Amino acid sequence: LGSRSKTAMSEELRNALNALLYQTGTQSYSFMMVLATNRAEDLDSAVIDRMDESLLFPLPTIDLRQRLTSIYFGAYVTNHTDEAREEALMKFNAVLRVLKKLFVSVSAPIKLSAASKKAIPKHLNEVAELVDGFSGREISKLMIAVQSAAYGSEDNELKPAMLLAVTKLKVEEHRRKVQMVMGLHMSPRREASPRVRKADGGRR
């Protein structure tokens, strides 16, 4: 469905797009077409013209980011602690005890000290502030990275400092990714080349 003026389309893709435009040229009760994209500017203008309604789903606001960080932290970290697993065993005692005997857990539980548990809500609010511009998927992947950092630590213990360190790393990755998409990011070699030429010129 990409724009015919911006991209070099193969004959097959052009024929497929033309067939779609032909079938959707007039109103029909036979079908409904629903499109979802985060790059509407790449769609062909004729495709956009055929959309009667459009809905914008903006990036999460600070309130939504606070909720998302809490939800995903619970899903990827809190639910993998020893206490959470024991609680699950209590709820589904018979079935889970059998499963526990049949299957060995692939990973040890994540440890959260009492002090860390008390400090985490405050730090999650700080994380929500730092991830301004993140999508819900990026926040989910951030918490997966936090989980990996906890499992990669010496004793599987997650500390608030680790949460913030991973977040800052991902914020920097996000910044570079945005720059790359906008064509602003330069490779280290290209960034260094003017200085190298200047230094070479000085030696001459």
Same domain, 79 and 111: yes
Same domain, 2 and 86: no
Residue 203 lies in a domain: no
Q: What's the structural domain count of the chain?
A: 2
User: How high is the pLDDT of residue 35?
Assistant: 87
Residue 42 has pLDDT above 50, yes or no: yes
> What is the dihedral sign for C-alpha 45, 48, 49, 54?
negative
**CB burial string 164-177: b at 16+ within 10 A, e below:** eebbeebbeebeee
* Final residue belonging to a domain, choices 57, 75, 102: 57
Phi, psi of 171 (to 5 degrees): -65, -40
Residue 132 has pLDDT above 90, yes or no: yes
Counts of helices then strands in the chain (DSSP H, E): 9, 0
Residue 193 lies in a domain: no
Same domain, 37 and 114: no
Amino acid at 147: Q
Same domain, 53 and 70: no
- Rounded to two decimals, the pTM is 0.68
Tell me the average pLDDT across 176-190.
71
Q: Which domain holds residue 164?
A: 62-181
